[in-house]
Amino acid sequence: MTGPAAAAKAKDKRSTAVVWTVVLGLFVGVPCAIGIVNGGESTDVSAPTTEQRTATVPLLASAFEAQGVCYGWRLYDWSTEISVGSNLGDGTSVRDDPRCPRWIEVSAAVRYTSSSSESQDSASIGVDGSPDIERADLYPIASGLGRFGLDADAFVDEPGWAITRATTVLPLLAAEVGLADPAPTAATPASSGTPAPLPSAGNDLLRDRWGWLLTAAVLLLVAALFITVGVRQRRRATAPGRGTAAGAPSGSGRQPRGPVTAQRPGAGVAGRTREGA
């Protein structure tokens, strides 16, 4: 094989090697990177901050003095309790405490799922009370939380803030259904310091699948690259006279012309003159 043909073939081999290297990197490296990114996402539910708890307890204590009803909260990460508190203090439950014969408690169970899961983040909210309080009176209190923006989405987005905020509006809702006297000050949480920044919202389909969508787009580009390389190689292989040996007939069947020896001007005339002499 002549020099130009061998060089072209070596170039094609290098191009093929580069393409396969890119493909292997995409099929192996990209999924590994996606797994690392998704695996680093935390699914732990955040409890109320110290600032939020210390600001909530005095409000509940003030409502208890005005209404004679204890108020508290309870937050779960799935089924694991991560925070509890009441007008009796942070970490103290109103249930089965002799100081609270009459009580109302809001509870929420927040469930975060991984990005690879088909299930979405969710939260369930409930309101319980002491045995002397009818369930029919607790239902409008639980449904009334939505008027303050304390729905399931709020608990998913920021569970710590939502559970303490829901506890502070319990006295107002209890007064609305006639379970206690009005206590307007208990429904307004004191603002102390800078509020905690909102965490990332719950998972959605686009955010959960961004890695796979990116991989699909890259694979489409690789497929286009394969097609382009294949077309170029085919054109080179079918080009007229490509890869033929010196002196071999071309595709038209004609023999290539050999090299022509150059002559000096007047050389032919001088030769004929000598022969004539």
Angle, helices 159-176 vs 135-144, to 10°: value is 130
How far lies 232's CA from each of 115, 211, 266, in Å? Answer: 42, 32, 51
Q: Which of 20-34, 107-121, 197-211 has the highest mean pLDDT?
A: 107-121
Q: Is the predicted pLDDT of residue 130 greater than 90, yes or no?
A: yes
Q: Tell me the C-alpha distance between 82 and 179, whole Å.
A: 29
Q: What is the mean pLDDT of residues 75-80?
A: 97
- pLDDT level of residue 270 (50, 70, 90 thresholds): very low
d(CA 236, CA 5): 10
Q: Is the pLDDT of residue 190 over 90?
A: no
Check pLDDT > 80 for residue 170: yes
User: In whole angstroms, what is the distance from residue 201 CA to residue 196 CA?
Assistant: 14
pLDDT digits (tens, 9 = 90+) for 60-76: 999 999 999 999 999 99
CA–CA dist 242, 79 (Å, integer): 74
Structure tokens at 94: 């109103």
Q: Poorest-confidence range of 9-23, 231-245, 246-260? A: 246-260
Q: What is the pLDDT of residue 189?
A: 47
What's the pLDDT band for 84 if we cut at 50, 70, 90?
very high
Q: Which range has the worst mean pLDDT, 16-25, 51-60, 92-101, 201-210?
A: 201-210
The pLDDT of residue 273 is 47
Across 25-29, 44-48, 152-156, 205-209, least confident range: 205-209
Instruction: Report phi then psi at 86, rounded to 5.
Output: -165, -170
* Spatial contact of 198 and 162, defined as CB atoms under 8 Å apart: no
Please tell me the predicted confidence (pLDDT) of residue 254. Answer: 54
Average confidence score pLDDT of the chain: 78
Report the SS3 class of residue 156.
helix
Confidence at residue 121, expressed as pLDDT on a 0 to 100 scale: 95
Stated pTM of the model: 0.57
Amino acid at 189: P
Q: Which residue has the higher pLDDT, 5 or 246?
A: 5
Question: Mutual orientation of helices 3-24 and 210-237 as an angle, nearest 10°?
Answer: 170
Own/partner pairs, 15-19, CB within 8 angstroms, 24+ separation: 15/229, 16/229, 19/222, 19/225, 19/226, 19/229
Asked if 167 and 106 count as a contact pair (C-beta separation under 8 A), the reply is yes
Amino acid code (one letter) for 60: L
Average pLDDT over residues 214-220: 78
pLDDT at 58: 97
Q: Which residue has the higher pLDDT, 91 or 207?
A: 91
| Segment (H or E) for 77 | strand 70-77
Tell which wins on pLDDT, 82 or 258.
Answer: 82
- Share of residues in the chain with pLDDT > 70 (%): 60
